[in-house]
Amino acid sequence: MGVSTNGATARAAVILRLRGLAVALAAVPAALAAVLVAGRFTGHLGAPGSADAAAWDAARYAVVAVALLTLGWAAAFAVALRRARPHRTPSVRLTEREAPELHRMVRELAERMEVPAPGAIALTPDCDSWLEDETAPGGRSPAPPTLVVGSPFLWWMRVAELRALLAPVVAGTACALDPEISAARRFTHGLDALLGAHQGRGGFWASIPARSLLRRSRVHAAEMERAVAGWASEQARQVDYGMRIAAQEQVGLAYAGWDRLLTRVALPAWRLGRCPTRLNAGVVSALTELSRRDRLAEGFESRLGERPACDLLDEPGRIDEATSLLAASLFYVGPNALPAPGSGESRLDWADYPREVVLRQWGNQSASLLAALGAEIASPAGALATALRALRAGTGEQLAARLEAQRNGLPVSRSGRDAVSDGLHALVCRAAVDAGRAEPGMDWLDGPVLLVDGRRCADLGAPIALAVEHGDDEPLRVWLEGAGISLARPARLR
């Protein structure tokens, strides 16, 4: 297959020689002990009755003891290395019956580049694609790898773009099935997994040889992977090379939209125990919206008239739901555990987002602010009026400190002052909704928003910032009066 022409197999051979050298070094004390014991029985080394017999016996006992310890250590290390399991990213497996066109496209790619086809295809809820090794532990012959594809690519990219993007990845199956490259990869990945599994004092026995071997093989492994990537890229040049440049542009855009959707839209839902089931369809909406707002992305939405890559799936909606629920279990780390992914109570359609997420988030943020104020939720003077009066009195710093304490040390990126702003914004939004002057909504790039006359309300940020940071609530009172919202009305938080 020509992989050796770029030096990948040469680097793999160096790694395997390091492995062989380690085995040889472990056997040296045993070989020396065998020589000393044989010398004792043949009479050549410390024959009984000779002047130096006692010294030779002492040397034999010491070397045999060292040999037994070394062999025991080496055997335990070999067993641990064999059992070590490199990290595998959870994915959604796609059978040929679920995605016949996608499987056919990948096979045609492999045939065109004259490389073996991947053994299976899976989706991961991230913006990356790679080959997952499927060789059984201890297996001598490498098994066909699984092609793992980032699910946002299928929904955002067009069929031609996806084919061009996957070409160099599919070309890598030839290298994955090369016996020397496969063995070298399993060895280095096993060392990494062994170090991860045996940390601390308890893993001291395993970390010494693993770190030493990994340090000596890391440069060669990196060079091997660089050579493999170069060879695969060269093989893929014959497949839609011009389209690969356009596809790479879409990779960056897809990553930006996916990250924004997760942090601004999905995260508020996850915090409330709800899992949006159409994240991949949502990233298309988010990127389309980004194309309208950002001149750097202008024109990208014109591609949407071409056939999307998700058409290669028989049931894109069901696959979207499966990868969306997997994304929630992989990416959400918070104080409240999500319900089981299969439970109906956790699933959330985009149409229900304003009611199920936006209103509940505003209610929780409002309640947190009022708890920090020590105010009753149904205060006769109005909960919103109570908050403005406290901020005007200069209690912003104290409120921020109290809200920080409420978090109980949770790792969050926003400060206590941000939490005060969020709480005041939530109080205003709930008051506007209760007064019938606005409604909750969702922005594909920014998440929960307040809609006034069907349009996003964008002029609340400055008045709220003045009230929180400077105690100047006059601009906010003017806004409330203009919107017809009474400060005397208690805010309904649930």
Query: Which residues, listed in sequence order, are joined to residue 308 by a DSSP beta bridge?
Result: 158
The C-alpha atoms of residue 96 and residue 155 are separated, in whole angstroms, by 19
Are 267 and 327 in contact by the 8 Å Cβ rule? The answer is: no
pLDDT value at 451 more than 90: yes
pLDDT of residue 406: 73
Count of CB atoms within 10 A of residue 238's CB? 12
Return the pLDDT at 139: 73
Asked if the model's pLDDT at residue 269 lies above 90, the reply is yes
Kindly indicate the confidence band of residue 428, based on its pLDDT and cuts at 50, 70 and 90: very high
The b-or-e profile of 429-438 (16+ CB within 10 A means b, else e) is: bbbbbbeebb
* Mean pLDDT of the region 394-414: 73
Instruction: Give kind and range of the element (H or E) at residue 347.
Output: strand 347-348
State residue 345's pLDDT score: 66
pLDDT, the chain, mean: 87
Burial class (CB in 10 A: 0-12, 13-18, 19+), 314: middle
For residues 242 and 312, the answer to whether their CB atoms sit within 8 Å is: no
Q: Name the band, by pLDDT with cuts 50, 70 and 90, for residue 340.
A: low
Predicted pLDDT at 293: 78
3-state secondary structure 76-130: HHHHHHHHCCCCCCCCEEECCCCCHHHHHHHHHHHHHHCCCCCCEEEEECCCCEE
pLDDT number for residue 407: 66
pLDDT of residue 202: 57
Distance (Å) of CA 294 to CA 265, 282, 291, 299, 300: 19, 18, 6, 10, 10
The whole-number average pLDDT for the span 225-249 is 89
Q: Measured between alpha carbons, how far is 396 from 394 in angstroms, rounded to an integer?
A: 6
pLDDT grade, residue 377 (50/70/90)?
Answer: very low
Least confident of 111-115, 235-239, 475-479: 235-239
The alpha carbons of the chain give a radius of gyration, in whole angstroms, of: 32
Q: What is the Cα–Cα distance from 51 to 38, expressed in whole angstroms?
A: 19
pLDDT, mean of residues 246-270:
92
- Mean pLDDT in residue range 453-477: 91
Pick the more confident residue, 341 or 291. 291
Instruction: Quote the percentage of the chain above a pLDDT of 70.
Output: 89
Which region among 56-70, 79-93, 134-148, 196-210 has the lowest average model confidence (pLDDT)?
A: 196-210
- What is the mean predicted confidence (pLDDT) over 103-114? 96
Which pLDDT belongs to residue 398? Answer: 87
What is the pLDDT at residue 378?
Answer: 45
Average pLDDT over residues 57-71: 90
Q: What is the mean pLDDT of residues 283-301?
A: 77
pLDDT at 381 over 70: no
Residue 151's pLDDT is 97
Say what the pLDDT of residue 308 is: 93
pLDDT of residue 487: 80
| Identity of the highest mean pLDDT range in 93-97, 133-137, 286-290, 383-387 | 93-97
Mean pLDDT value of segment 171-178: 95
Contacts of 237 (CB under 8 A, 6+ apart): none
232 and 169 Cβ atoms separated by less than 8 Å: yes
At residue 84 the predicted structure's pLDDT band, cuts being 50, 70 and 90, is: confident
Phi, psi of 266 (to 5 degrees): -75, -40
Phi/psi for 199 (5° steps) reads -100, 160
Average the pLDDT over each of 6-20, 212-226, 373-387 and give the range with the smallest value: 373-387
Residue 399 has pLDDT above 50, yes or no: yes
225 — pLDDT class (breaks 50, 70, 90):
very high
The per-residue DSSP string of 400-456 comes to HHHHHHHTTT---SS-HHHHHHHHHHHHHHHHHHHTTS-EEEEETTTEEEEEETTEE
Q: Work out the angle at residue 233's Cα, subtended by the Cα atoms of residues 227 and 235, and round it to the nearest 5 degrees.
A: 105
Mean pLDDT of 386-415: 78
Question: What is the model's pLDDT at position 376?
Answer: 46
Rounded average pLDDT over 411-425: 81
CA gap 153, 128 in Å, rounded: 8
Q: What is the maximum alpha-carbon separation in the chain?
A: 113
Max mean pLDDT range (113-127, 325-339, 415-429): 113-127
Is the CB of residue 88 less than 8 Å from the CB of residue 135? no
Residue identified by tokens 């987002």 is 353
Average pLDDT over residues 85-103: 93
